[in-house]
Structure 1
Amino acid sequence: MLRYATGPLRAPAFRGRCLPVTLLPLAGLSPADPVPAARAAAVAKQVASLRIGGEPGLPEPSPEALRLPRRHAILVLDPCHRAQAASARAALASALELAGGRPVILARDPTAPPGAPAQIAPPPGVHWLPERLSPWALLDLAEELRGASDEMALLASAAGVSVDGRLPDPVPRWTALIGALRCADPFLARPWPLERALEQLGEWRRAQAENRRVTLCLGMAFWKRRRVAALFAHAGGAPRFARHPGRAVAQARRAGGALAVWASRATPELRADCQRQGVTLLTVEDGFVRSRGLGARFLPGAAYAVDDRGIYYDPGRESALEHLLATAEFPPALLARAAALRRAIVARGVTKYNLQGQAPSIAAPPGRPRLLVPGQVEGDASVRLGGGAIQDNLALLQAVRAAHPDAFLIYKPHPDLEAGFRQGRLEARALADLADQVVTSAPLTSLFPQIDALHTLTSLSGFEALLRGVRVVTWGQPFYAGWGLTEDRNPPPRRGRRLGLDELVAASLILFPRQVDPVTELPCPPEVILERLEDPAAWKLSPFTLHRGFEGWLRGALSRLRGLR
């Protein structure tokens, strides 16, 4: 039997959920291949850059927040263990003797068990940090470390902090560790290189920091709450759900945290109240590769847009996504990842909802341009805020027909309309005067190879068409318009930076959204969601929402009886 320990590169917990990415065999495995010194140095540098390793999920205040100087103190660690008390007192005594005017700080060793009593009483003049803090918060304070455990000494070597008067060479320590560690993908259970495991730990660390600031969630439907709780989970738990806006803002202000609200519930009054009381407001909306099925069917999504500026479908104010698109740097490694993600999306036929169906045949006569006009949910916020003068599907069809009188227009109703969940169906007679063909119960991806262009108001289908090299004409102001990739009939304000397609993909699908793995309910990269879309078992409807299927069927049947499409 092989026995493993979690080792110094531990994964954080998210509301009690935790999966390791690195394990340290205690015995029974032969060492891995020799580790080059350059790789060991690079790994140490990566660990310090990502600020990972040691006890995860602990508070990480900055030196400024602690009102202490950065990298100037002698830091003494209390092991909070009686057997090590004498050596810890000796470390403190030597620190006081060698301080030479530098501050001396006494802190709990992050590896000490929670609640373990301190073993050293801080003498006068020594600054005592009673709270259990992140290793990296402590290393930010230290010019020199004394009384360090093996784990803290390892991290100090990566951070370039002296230990007991000597600056340790990181290479020997990290060479030994790299040779022993075994790494695995926590989502798909396959081997990983150490460097990818470190990246995942870094991503989880960022998620912990982002999630800790969220105090309350507001306006979340009951069927979304478990997934939203996982979205904002951290080592300390998850935010509570509130029902009353005024009380929620007051509670968030008292807690000094942020308020997360479903975007459609972010009223101007709520925004004004948050601004008045100094509360950060985060809007939450479904992401762009959402699920295997409709949200209107009460199926929780796996990708979310979390925005502290506005919301991506409202061009009236700069959203976090628009800010990214306007200002972000896109290094070659990120663009290569974006290109690979785009190719995987196209090869797998991935869209927002990933619905199944048969590919229709477009009956356009030769010589007529084939233009696809996808329908949207009328009254939807993206139409209302981003549609401008055009506010419904009929008006969009009329505008496209007027601009292209000789084109072969293909109209595809929105999947929510086809399923009977939302309003916006058109009368068959009105459609017959504008559209040459109406396509229903077909996946959107099956139409892209058969068309010459897609005309849309603000639909995500325009973004999905861009990924597949289809010419896109926008009549509203969606997030992907205004960057030189689309033909815009109503150009958005502020934008104008010229972006490549993979830069748009990098910002929209990698840097901006947050994903929750529907299987482990842990934060995950977008590539994992593509894998999960291949597994129907990962997308389970709650038995408490099964009535939505019958409700949609009934509404659809009634609409068809009334001659609506």
Structure 2
Amino acid sequence: MENPQRLVTTSKGLFAIPHLPELLQAQLSYRHRRLLWVKQRQLSDVDAVVAWGKKPSALAAEHVAERLSVPLLRIEDAFLRSLALGMNDMPLGVVVDDKGIYYDATRPSRLEELIRKPLSGAQRARAEQLIVKWRELRLSKYNHCRDHNVDYGRPFILLVDQTFGDASIRYGQADSDAFDRMLTAARERYPRHLIVIKTHPDVIAGHKQGHFDAQQLSADPSVHLEGRAFHPPDVIAAADAVFCVTSQMGFEALLWQKPVYVFGAPFYAGWGLTHDMQELSPTLTNRRGPATLEQLAHAAFIDYARYWHPEQQRRCSVEELMDWLSQQREWRQQFPVTLLAERFPRWKRAYLRRYFAGSELRFLKRHAELPEDQPVVVWGRPGSANHIAVEDGFVRSVGLGADLVAPKSWVIDEIGMYYDATRPSKLERLLREAEFSEKELQRAAKIRARLVKEQVSKYNVGISQWRRPTGRQKVILVPGQVESDASITYGSPYLRTNYALLKAVRERCPDDYIVYKPHPDVVAGLRTKDSQHAEQLTFCDDVVLHENMASLLTKVDEVHTLTSLTGFEALLRGVPVTCYGQPFYSGWGLTTDIYPNERRQVARQLDELVAATLIRYPRYLSENSNTLTTIEQALNEIADLRERQSHDAQATWMVKIKRVLLRLKRF
């Protein structure tokens, strides 16, 4: 089926779905159904009317399509839909049907036609790999629930309840009695098994009605009512068989190669893959017939559905979406379900929730004491063993953090913090103990090359005008730091000021050309000036204020620093680095260390440092999807934003206005 060029819908909700036109590869417009009838002559070039499934609103769309004499397309959630539930997340997968809709067994659907199609060798192989991948990644229609180790202490079978009034029951040629027949059959076929009835949590809570008498069954030792929000693969994989009426969990159980007993007529019944426990209508039997699991999977996941990649903002294959959802699930399970957090500035809270996706954050009240017996999320400072410290990442943003620019990356450390050399951190432990695969090191090398090529640094601001002095054999860059910064307090045990650093560099390199670059927050007036900012200039030959750091590093021979991230950025570019403090990148055989950290002393390759520092340690946030992402996607979005800002003079003025307001707020 080719997509029509121009579609119209009478549903505001459907029209509001982001990226639906791209998924449909068509133009989509909204018109009220009455306007469609009045202005019928103006819509002679409409190719089809679009409706959402069999909802009541679809009835109006049916009338409009009939009146305009054009086809009706029904849209529904795909069998791989999204990360979170429908009310919280846009559909990343939809199905499009020009004949009916997959859950309506009373009439033909496009899916039935697709299932009947023979597969080529390549299609069969792809379907086989997809089924294996589905199990390995442990995916489902929705993928927000954490993994659980399901153990009921004895073999069990799974019965899937559905909420009362579910439209798929009626359209699936079933009724409420089907659930009673299902329970009876389960007792007869598996008399020694525990019967686990998976019902909706709202049914257990009394908010919705299911199809089983929970009070009566709770007294039956052979039945366990499971109302927790489990991820479906957790219970399906552990069950010996699955019983259902029309639930999609029956389809997923087939993918897990489980015996499936069906008491309705869902799309996956009638193909010889399920135990069909009720007689299907003759018309349905004639439309269906023997089919393989590969045919069913290829039709449902590949031919029938369209998918959207939320980060890359394009249509994608089902396998690409599967990989993305699997990575999101992995990230969302790294921290406890519930976490306390100290009082954060309001603007940071929204970002904090995204960086801790999968965990519920509960913010403490102002001046509340931090509990010592449970984990607490804190900003930056290392603390007790229960602190989970958060700080800016190494590729942070396009703009300064002090300007409240959205953070592209933060680091989260449950052990210490990377800039605290007085004790171990999660990053230090990685560099001391972790093993890195060849694939990971190749990835790190590509990231390093890209950072250099695209001139990416922490804040990605500044110009590229400074010229290296002619006739000087060695030019040394000394990056200034905010002297009150914690990285100096905790990471530089001997020298604590920019004055002391410049003095030490001049004493060590009396004849070299020294360039000093104050910290951009200080230059912008957002942080306190250096304590001896006038005197320290006697030790340098040039002061650079607004130069882009990535560009500047290509014009110098060495970097001398206390603990500045510039030292790490210099290593990425092959520039020798001398450390007068103990930054995270020192002590691994890659820098000249004036005051070595005795706790480290492990030789690491540069790409191992990159893999630990930029791949494993930080978390990155995608602006496109508002979800966690990879460093590669973060770099893509940074490049896009830099390109947009280079053509947007208004953005520069907005930054200046914001800085004025921040200064006024301080005073």
TM-score, normalised with respect to structure 1? 0.82
Whole-Å Cα distance in 2 between the matches of residues 217 and 447 of structure 1?
39
Equivalent in 214, 218, 224 of residue 127 of structure 1: 224
When residues 447 and 552 of structure 1 are mapped into structure 2, their CA distance, relative to the original with a 3 A threshold, is farther
Whole-Å Cα distance in 2 between the matches of residues 167 and 499 of structure 1?
54
In the alignment, structure 1 residue 261 sits paired with structure 2 residue 378: yes
In the alignment, structure 1 residue 325 sits paired with structure 2 residue 417: no
> After superposition, what is the alpha-carbon deviation per residue over 1:268-302, rounded to whole angstroms, capped at 9, x for unaligned?
4xx2xxx6xxxx53211111111111111222312
The residue number in structure 1 matching 2:195 is 104
Using the TM superposition, name which of 20-29 and 42-51 deviates more.
20-29
The residue number in structure 2 matching 1:562 is none
When residues 379 and 211 of structure 1 are mapped into structure 2, their CA distance, relative to the original with a 3 A threshold, is same
In the alignment, structure 1 residue 525 sits paired with structure 2 residue 630: yes
In the alignment, structure 1 residue 398 sits paired with structure 2 residue 503: yes
Do 2:393 and 2:410's aligned partners in 1 also have CA atoms closer than 8 Å? yes
The residue number in structure 1 matching 2:209 is 117
Equivalent in 364, 370, 375 of residue 242 of structure 1: 364
Whole-Å Cα distance in 2 between the matches of residues 516 and 120 of structure 1?
43
Using the TM superposition, name which of 135-144 and 284-293 deviates more.
135-144
The residue number in structure 2 matching 1:138 is 235
> After superposition, what is the alpha-carbon deviation per residue over 1:163-220, rounded to whole angstroms, capped at 9, x for unaligned?
3499998634332223333333213422334333212111222344346724332142
Equivalent in 130, 140, 152 of residue 249 of structure 2: 152
Equivalent in 160, 163, 174 of residue 77 of structure 1: 160
After superposition, where does 1:407-426 map in structure 2 within 5 Å?
Answer: 407-425=512-530
% identity of equivalent residues: 31
Using the TM superposition, name which of 170-179 and 110-119 deviates more.
110-119
In the alignment, structure 1 residue 462 sits paired with structure 2 residue 567: yes
Equivalent residue of 2:620, what SS?
strand
In the alignment, structure 1 residue 213 sits paired with structure 2 residue 337: yes
Whole-Å Cα distance in 2 between the matches of residues 507 and 107 of structure 1?
42
The residue number in structure 1 matching 2:182 is 91
**Higher relative contact order structure (alpha carbons within 8 Å, sequence separation ≥ 6):** 1
Do 1:302 and 1:517's aligned partners in 2 also have CA atoms closer than 8 Å? yes
Whole-Å Cα distance in 1 between the matches of residues 327 and 520 of structure 2?
34
Equivalent in 363, 370, 389 of residue 494 of structure 2: 389
Equivalent in 173, 195, 200 of residue 324 of structure 2: 200
Q: For 1:39, give the aligned amino acid.
A: R
The residue number in structure 2 matching 1:180 is 304
Whole-Å Cα distance in 2 between the matches of residues 99 and 506 of structure 1?
51
Do 2:342 and 2:376's aligned partners in 1 also have CA atoms closer than 8 Å? yes
Do 2:466 and 2:552's aligned partners in 1 also have CA atoms closer than 8 Å? yes
The residue number in structure 2 matching 1:560 is none
When residues 345 and 170 of structure 1 are mapped into structure 2, their CA distance, relative to the original with a 3 A threshold, is farther
How many residue pairs get matched?
532
Whole-Å Cα distance in 2 between the matches of residues 158 and 519 of structure 1?
32
Question: Which 5+ residue runs of structure 2 have no aligned equivalent?
Answer: 1-6, 8-23, 25-73, 100-109, 166-173, 263-271, 275-291
Equivalent residue of 2:344, what SS?
coil
Whole-Å Cα distance in 2 between the matches of residues 68 and 545 of structure 1?
62
When residues 14 and 338 of structure 1 are mapped into structure 2, their CA distance, relative to the original with a 3 A threshold, is farther
CA drift of 1:331 comes to 3.3
Whole-Å Cα distance in 1 between the matches of residues 204 and 145 of structure 2?
12
Let me know the Cα RMSD of the aligned residues: 3.8
The residue number in structure 1 matching 2:60 is none
When Rg is computed on C-alpha atoms for both structures, the one with the higher figure is: 2
Q: For 1:458, give the aligned amino acid.
A: T
Whole-Å Cα distance in 1 between the matches of residues 625 and 293 of structure 2?
34
> After superposition, what is the alpha-carbon deviation per residue over 1:79-111, rounded to whole angstroms, capped at 9, x for unaligned?
234655433333333333343644332212799
Whole-Å Cα distance in 2 between the matches of residues 373 and 104 of structure 1?
70
Do 1:351 and 1:464's aligned partners in 2 also have CA atoms closer than 8 Å? yes
Equivalent residue of 1:24, what SS?
strand
The residue number in structure 1 matching 2:13 is none
Do 2:159 and 2:197's aligned partners in 1 also have CA atoms closer than 8 Å? yes
Do 1:372 and 1:451's aligned partners in 2 also have CA atoms closer than 8 Å? yes
Question: Which 5+ residue runs of structure 1 have no aligned equivalent?
Answer: 556-565
The residue number in structure 1 matching 2:313 is 189
When residues 547 and 36 of structure 1 are mapped into structure 2, their CA distance, relative to the original with a 3 A threshold, is closer
Q: For 1:325, give the aligned amino acid.
A: L
Do 2:588 and 2:602's aligned partners in 1 also have CA atoms closer than 8 Å? yes
Q: For 1:243, give the aligned amino acid.
A: K
Equivalent residue of 1:5, what SS?
strand
Q: For 1:468, give the aligned amino acid.
A: R
Whole-Å Cα distance in 2 between the matches of residues 221 and 541 of structure 1?
24
Do 1:211 and 1:233's aligned partners in 2 also have CA atoms closer than 8 Å? no
Whole-Å Cα distance in 1 between the matches of residues 127 and 327 of structure 2?
21
